[in-house]
Amino acid sequence: MRVKLLYSTDLEALKKVLAEKGIPFNPDVLMDHVVYMFGIEDCSRVTTHQLVRHRVASYDQESQRFSAATKEGVVTPPSIQTNEAANKVYDEALKTVYSAYEKIVAAGVPKEDARYILPTAIKTKLVMTINARSLMHIVWQRTALQAQWEIRELVTSMYDLVHEATPELWVNVIER
């Protein structure tokens, strides 16, 4: 999985406005106004289905209507990777599904319809724009131990990036 911060709001510009109006800097005042845009790659559609449940954000994701799927582009959970018997079944199932996908496309069916057979393990790419307050909510929920490993990994990466870009804004996050 890869996460890249494409841009973030210039916090200094916002702080300058506060200073000009005689308002002391308080991270909570600016949480709605600092915006981040991320490029996210090679996470599964399982995880992006979880991610888009957080609706106060903007998402644009690689379309399976137009992009061909390949067997190489799938995520295998560690619990399957480390289980020889399960990994064998997983791999065989993927081979069957992708073989069927290719045959359906070769038979002239548009990719947008052939994709109905594809697994949610498939890797995907997207861009996401979100403000700090909404992201903080996601960090709170999705870095918890109850959250699934892949979205925890994704959101932890996002948090690391925004913490580096705008550390003053993230002083009140409770570490899990």
Measured between alpha carbons, how far is 37 from 59 in angstroms, rounded to an integer?
10
Residue 53 in contact with other proteins, rule: CB under 8 A: no
Give dist(CA 127, CA 22) in Å, integer: 36
Bridging pattern class, strands 35-44 and 58-61: unpaired
Binding mask 57-76 toward other proteins (x if CB under 8 A, else -) reads -x-xxxx--xxx--------
Name which position in 131, 141, 152, 163 contacts other proteins (CB under 8 A): 131
Which span (24-32, 45-53, 90-98, 135-143) binds other proteins, by CB under 8 A? Answer: 24-32
Long-range contacts: 94-103, Cβ < 8 Å, 24+? 94/119, 94/121, 95/71, 98/69, 98/70, 98/71, 101/69
Task: Give 97's contacts (C-beta < 8 A, 6+ positions apart).
Answer: 117, 118, 119
54 touches other proteins (CB under 8 A): no
8, β-bridge pairs:
36
Q: Which is nearer to other proteins, 66 or 145 (CB)?
A: 66
- Reading the block at residue 106, the tokens are 């070769």
**x/- map, 32-51, other proteins, by CB under 8 A:** xx-x-x-x-x----------
- Single out the segment in contact with other proteins by CB under 8 A; choices: 2-10, 98-106, 136-144, 150-158: 2-10
Binding residues for other proteins, rule: CB under 8 A, are 2, 4, 6-7, 9-10, 13-14, 17-18, 21-23, 29-30, 32-33, 35, 37, 39, 41, 58, 60-63, 66-68, 125-127, 129, 131
Catalytic machinery residues: 142
